[in-house]
Structure 1
């Protein structure tokens, strides 16, 4: 979305989504509390006036928008991959296996949503509730995939799909943390395979 701001008698135009994407990179490389407003402005290529006119809630609003943008981009790709696959469980396993093959930078960064959940204080309930809602949406996607797999007879476990989905979400978050300290792909792969075998 193009944002047009009237400043000093002339319009200033910038792409809000592009600005949020750039801010997301800063938040991801550092964290919400460490990333300074100056660093964010420099990355986005806008001034303080434009920033506060567009993001009236300041840094917190920008962070929330970066979280939503990250999730929307990631979730849409995952949803298409999982729900359109002929074998949804094979697609699900492929998604998890890809975590073992991430770049060093990806492994060091961890999951943007998971990071947000543990980095925010208990006082920042609005943002934490938003992250919780988004992760629950991912859990629901996993539950839908497991349900389809059970209907097709390709899931070994007869447990409630909701419970299996929570186990998968726990694995998703856990691997994102583990790969920050253990980067050997063969070790990560073994961990993922072992857990998937127990869960599914």
Structure 2
């Protein structure tokens, strides 16, 4: 039996391309033709290697979150002051490129778009956001215990506040594209991390 044609593409590169179009346009607005054109593969290759459009979206979402989580975990673990790292992380968001402002948050976009359309994909995005919340919680709790964070607010509430800030900021930055308009809002919201 023949082994079939060898792959002439790197799956990770192809999935990164899928991340880009799904992030920019969303799941529903991305046609199969646009997806294939962006991924630079044929329909047969897509179905054989990744499955259908929904499967590609799920793989793209997981790849995006794996890459982001790996980066974030490495950076926060290496930080001398994890709470200061979190502050700086949020303060960089208003300074991002204008194209990033328009894209918003891939996870938040997915939750908003697919809440009533595809509960399975919505749940996957929520799980990734919840994992991020848990990371915030762990470092907030630790900082409170060792006196590096003065706030006596419940660590879980503070972690949820940061997720809310993340989601809200990714909408608000579509309204106010100038970092000078966004920075005071972010700074105000981060007062809870004093």
TM range (shorter): over 0.9
In 2, are the aligned partners of 1:171 and 1:195 still within 8 Å (CA)? yes
2:175 equivalent to 1:181: yes
Deviation at 1:31, TM superposition (A): 1.1
Find the counterpart in structure 1 of residue 131 from structure 2: 137
Structure 2 counterpart of 1:73, from 64, 67, 73: 67
Deviation at 1:83, TM superposition (A): 2.2
Instruction: Name the structure where helix makes up a greater proportion of residues.
Output: 2
The size of the alignment, in residue pairs, is: 192
Find the counterpart in structure 2 of residue 93 from structure 1: 87
Deviation at 1:84, TM superposition (A): 2.0
Structure 2 counterpart of 1:59, from 31, 53, 59: 53
Find the counterpart in structure 2 of residue 25 from structure 1: 20
Residues 88-146 of structure 1 deviation map (CA, whole Å, 9 limit, x = unaligned): 11111000000110110010110111111101142411101101110000000000110
2:119 equivalent to 1:149: no
Matches within 5 A, 1:98-137: 98-137=92-131
Q: Considering only aligned residues, what root-mean-square deviation do their CA atoms show, in Å?
A: 1.4
Deviation at 1:198, TM superposition (A): 3.4
Residues 24-78 of structure 1 deviation map (CA, whole Å, 9 limit, x = unaligned): 111112111111111111111111111111122x000100111111111111111
Instruction: Name the structure where strand makes up a greater proportion of residues.
Output: 1
Structure 2 counterpart of 1:16, from 11, 14, 19: 11
Runs of 4+ residues over 4 Å off in structure 1 = none
Extract unaligned runs of 5+ from structure 1: none
Which whole-Å CA distance do the structure 2 matches of 1:188 and 1:136 have between them?
A: 25
In 1, are the aligned partners of 2:158 and 2:192 still within 8 Å (CA)? no
In 2, are the aligned partners of 1:21 and 1:66 still within 8 Å (CA)? yes
Which whole-Å CA distance do the structure 2 matches of 1:172 and 1:71 have between them?
A: 15
Between 128-137 and 41-50, report the one with greater CA deviation: 41-50
Which whole-Å CA distance do the structure 2 matches of 1:171 and 1:156 have between them?
A: 20
TM-score normalised according to structure 2 size: 0.94
